[in-house]
Structure 1
Amino acid sequence: MPVHKIDGTGRRILVIDDDLAIRVLLQAVLRRMKFDVALAEDGAAGLDKLQHDGAFDLILLDLMMPRLNGYEFIEQIGQKYAPDDRPHIIVFTAAGKRGVDKIPPSAVCNSILKPFDLDTFIEIISECLNRLHQTGEQRSGVSTRAAE
């Protein structure tokens, strides 16, 4: 696995996915780039992590999960945080564009379709981090990428 040019030092990412293999894979990839990574198996566990572990630079969120799914997680984030204080979220979906269309554009930074390749995944992480660090920029809505 090649080392990519993103330096995640000092940045925190929360991965919320019910698929253990996805969580472990993303954790390994992100840690190689020096991110501090936390894992949650569903939206309810993700909300607990936010409450107890504090802020994250990005949240990687699967939409289809048991207990509290990604749509419900986004809804609860919208109720708990003011728009400028909401975490930046990248959603994973196997539901295609129609799954992402159900999400308010201001709620997420980007989305990626499952299955995905790691290069596309890393490019999207980089884009969202760049947006996060640009001063005064509003979230520009949702774009969706398929695996290339």
Structure 2
Amino acid sequence: MLQTEELLAGKKVLIVDDDVRNIFALYCYLESFGMDIHTAENGLKALEFLNRKPETDLVLMDMMMPEMDGYEAIEHIRENEILHDLPVIAVTAKAMKGDREKCLEAGASEYVAKPINLAELCEKMIGLVSQKPGYDQ
């Protein structure tokens, strides 16, 4: 089995979160795998970025943000013909009964509750990028 670094190295990931502490923590973790990391502070900024960079491999989407939340942003992603199949992991503090289902119904590919279990996040990221068309590992 290939090492995590080999599976994620060079993959373009967009971290969408309005809390710079969360962005910093995820950025530092993902950087260790050699990922190409970009950030946006809300759903609107995320959509602007994705329209410029549709070749993005994966999005880590906070669900509760000002201006445009993750639910609305994912809805727009799923409606976009080019971005429709883009893997999106809902990364959220909303961890009550039914929240996971709500995120998946909104169009998230996966769900990870905060505080983030990094091993779980890594496993889900590998699963999603390895299913993406054009994956050659």
Does the alignment reach a TM-score above 0.5?
A: yes
Alpha carbons 2:104, 2:111 under 8 Å: kept: no
Alpha carbons 1:93, 1:100 under 8 Å: kept: no
- 1:59 positional shift: 0.4
Q: Which residue of 1 aligns with 2:72?
A: 72
- 1:74 positional shift: 1.0
SS in 1 for 2:122: helix
Q: Which residue of 1 aligns with 2:58?
A: 58
Greater CA drift, 86-95 or 41-50? 86-95
Identity within the alignment, %: 27
After superposition, what is the alpha-carbon deviation per residue over 1:1-35, rounded to whole angstroms, capped at 9, x for unaligned?
xxx73323331000001111111111111111011
Alpha carbons 2:75, 2:106 under 8 Å: kept: no
After superposition, what is the alpha-carbon deviation per residue over 1:109-143, rounded to whole angstroms, capped at 9, x for unaligned?
211011122222212212222222598xxxxxxxx
Which letter does structure 1 place at the counterpart of 2:25?
A: L
TM-score, normalising length: structure 1: 0.77
Question: 5 Å matches for 1:1-148?
Answer: 5-7=4-6, 8-81=8-81, 85-96=84-95, 97-105=97-105, 107-132=107-132
Large movers: runs of 4+ above 4 Å? none
SS in 2 for 1:116: coil
Q: Which runs of 5+ in 1 are unaligned?
A: 136-148
Number of aligned residue pairs:
131
SS in 2 for 1:15: strand
Q: Which runs of 5+ in 2 are unaligned?
A: none
